[in-house]
Structure 1
Amino acid sequence: MGNILEDNSRSFLISSLNLKPTETLLIVTDEEKKDLAEAIYAAGKSIGAETVLMVMQEREKSGQEPPASIAEAMKLSDVVICITVHSLTHTKAKKDAVNAGARVATMPGITYDMFLEGAISADYEAVEKLTIQVTDLLSAARQVKIEKSGYQLTFSIEGRAGVPSTGVYHKPGQSGNLPSGEAFIAPMEGTANGKIVIDGSIAGIGKVTEPVLLSIENGKLVGAEGKQGQELLSLLGDGDGRNVAEFGVGTNDKARVTGVVLEDEKVYGTIHIAFGSNNTFGGNVAAGVHIDGVVMEPTVFIDGELLLEKGVMEIK
């Protein structure tokens, strides 16, 4: 098992991050994910990079900042891998590292299984091509409408830039998740209205046991039906955590819904809506939390044109 993990780690360090022997690689982890982090550490050393492993206590929720010492080390590294239970993707520490020129891959919640198969094994050239197509559509668009199970949600994305998470981070300041494959954007604050059914998974909770119906008014989550809906509300709190922060489209045809949002939100033909912080990718809200909910087989209109029809991508 160890050798396969190390081989797969070496493979993505080279193909996704273009790690060179002359560079510094920082691996940020917590106690829960330390075993997987050690496989990446061994792979980084085998490539010849100056490899550093920093272990912190597990964060309480996704979007919570790492310790200051780790944030500083992230800024001083060429390549940073964050392999943690809770996501560091939407943190100031990651944003500052990217602004300093680091190439950053975040792997929140990744499991042994995901290291060995699924989304990490995709053809990332194909994923990159589709992801950029969808990103360009989002960047040029004004309005999104999502339909599912007789409900609809609308919001404005006018003036906002789409963000590609392609799994290919070769240039200074490029960043995203691994495994990857999504195009996402920050909806304009205050513009989202309607209802949406989350029937895939919710970050920090896992696969939903029954569909969760979310009610959204003027850009804020105002209600969530069902037991897991109440869990979501308690994770988000009563303040800016309820902001409609992100709209994302999955573009990885090898990704599976496993209950780990890192992979779930990349599944081809799904979308996800996240709540909380969006200041790291074009929005105005820093909430200290960022929680995604995955929607299976939605119908999505971008400026009135079909992007997805019951989970089937209309881009040719």
Structure 2
Amino acid sequence: MEQAIQHGADIIIRDWVRLRAGERILIVSSQKYAVEVAAMQQAAQAVGSVADVLMLDDLHEQVGQYFDDREDAFDPYNAVIGAAEYSLITTRAVKRVIARRNRFLSLPLSTSNGQSLLSYDFLNMSLPKSRIMASIIMACYQNARHIHVTTELGTNLDFNIEGRVPGFFNGCCHDGKGLSSASVEVYVAPVESDTNGTLILDGSMGYIGIVDSPVRVELRGGRIVEIEDNASGRRLKQFLARFHDPENMVVAAEFGIGLNTHSRCAGNCYIEDESTYGTFHIGFGRNIALGGVQDASGHYDLVTHAPCIYVDNRMIMDHGQLTVLEPSIYI
């Protein structure tokens, strides 16, 4: 296992952050992930750099607010890795990193099965392959106004993306113009007041894991207005209450399509779940670093399987299979 963790750390430092000798890098994490932090420090040392570490324990969901309040916290560094329990990618401090032409990698290390995220196979996804897949999908979004999504279970959703610029993550900060995430996906921030319809959630619920049975989630005017009262629905409601931000954490803030053919949506690791090829996810809450204008105390994703996705009435995914790619891209 130690060898697998070090292999993952080497990918992150060498291929994703592309750390160079003499650069300053900060790893934001907690004592829970001391092994992973040490592996990334070793990888940084191997390329001639020294990694500083900021351990933030006991913040949990509030870690985002911490870096909203400390917008200049990352100014001394060429690169920052957010390797805490929760994602920092939508915070003001990260937005400032990118504005200063430095690099930020979102690497939330939360898993629910005891396996280190750095040992997961999804880290081995080909960067060129993900880049090609993403570029083709983003070309379909050019000047588009509308996304429509259905599933066989009954999902029927409409997103307004007029004027919004899509982006993609594949781990590589260079590909993301300084900003990236361990999640491999194409994303776009929909108009915050104009997502409507029914989501039948059958994949995972972000940080809280797999859906035990499908959950009906109703959206009107860009907001969740009803969550089905079953076991998984109650878990989702309880999770939302922990953010103490009931007005903003129910706003649909991101539409994402997973592109990682090495990932499996098993509920063990939310970064892997939302990356899984053949799924889509809706991010709720903050999206200020994703091209939107919504602020909130956090961000979380709901992942659903096998969608049919239409962009301005053009089908780009049919029951989880992209229809705009050549078959050779899957090899």
Aligned to 2:237: 233
2: CA distance, partners of 1:67 / 1:109: 18
Aligned to 2:328: none
Contact residue 59 and residue 86 of structure 1 kept, 8 A: no
Structural RMSD (CA): 2.1
1: CA distance, partners of 2:195 / 2:72: 36
Q: Mapping of 1:67-82 within 5 angstroms?
A: 72-82=72-82
> Which contiguous aligned blocks of 4+ residues in structure 1 show a shift greater than 6 angstroms?
none
2: CA distance, partners of 1:147 / 1:213: 13
Question: Residues 201 and 141 of structure 1: is their aligned pair in 2 closer, same or farther, counting only changes over 3 Å?
Answer: same
After superposing the two structures, state which structure 1 stretch, 48-57 or 242-251, moved more.
48-57
2: CA distance, partners of 1:253 / 1:25: 30
Contact residue 98 and residue 172 of structure 1 kept, 8 A: no
CA deviations over 1:243-287 (Å, ceiling 9, x no partner): 111100011111111322211111112100011111222212101
Aligned to 1:42: 42
Deviation, 1:305, is 0.9
Question: Residues 88 and 68 of structure 1: is their aligned pair in 2 closer, same or farther, counting only changes over 3 Å?
Answer: closer
Q: Mapping of 1:252-291 within 5 angstroms?
A: 252-259=260-267, 260-291=269-300
2: CA distance, partners of 1:253 / 1:171: 19
SS in 1 for 2:256: strand
1: CA distance, partners of 2:26 / 2:175: 17
Contact residue 63 and residue 288 of structure 1 kept, 8 A: no
CA deviations over 1:105-126 (Å, ceiling 9, x no partner): 1111355453223210111110
Contact residue 248 and residue 295 of structure 2 kept, 8 A: yes
Consecutive unaligned residues in structure 2, runs of 5 or more: 326-331
1: CA distance, partners of 2:303 / 2:144: 22
1: CA distance, partners of 2:63 / 2:134: 24
Q: Mapping of 1:215-230 within 5 angstroms?
A: 215-225=218-228, 226-230=230-234
How many residue pairs end up in the alignment? 315
Aligned to 2:136: 133
2: CA distance, partners of 1:205 / 1:68: 24
Aligned to 2:56: 56
Aligned to 2:197: 194
Which of the numbers 171, 178, 196 marks the counterpart of 1:167?
171
SS in 2 for 1:240: coil
Deviation, 1:171, is 7.3
After superposing the two structures, state which structure 1 stretch, 297-306 or 67-76, moved more.
67-76
Deviation, 1:32, is 2.0
Consecutive unaligned residues in structure 1, runs of 5 or more: none
SS in 2 for 1:95: helix
Deviation, 1:96, is 1.5
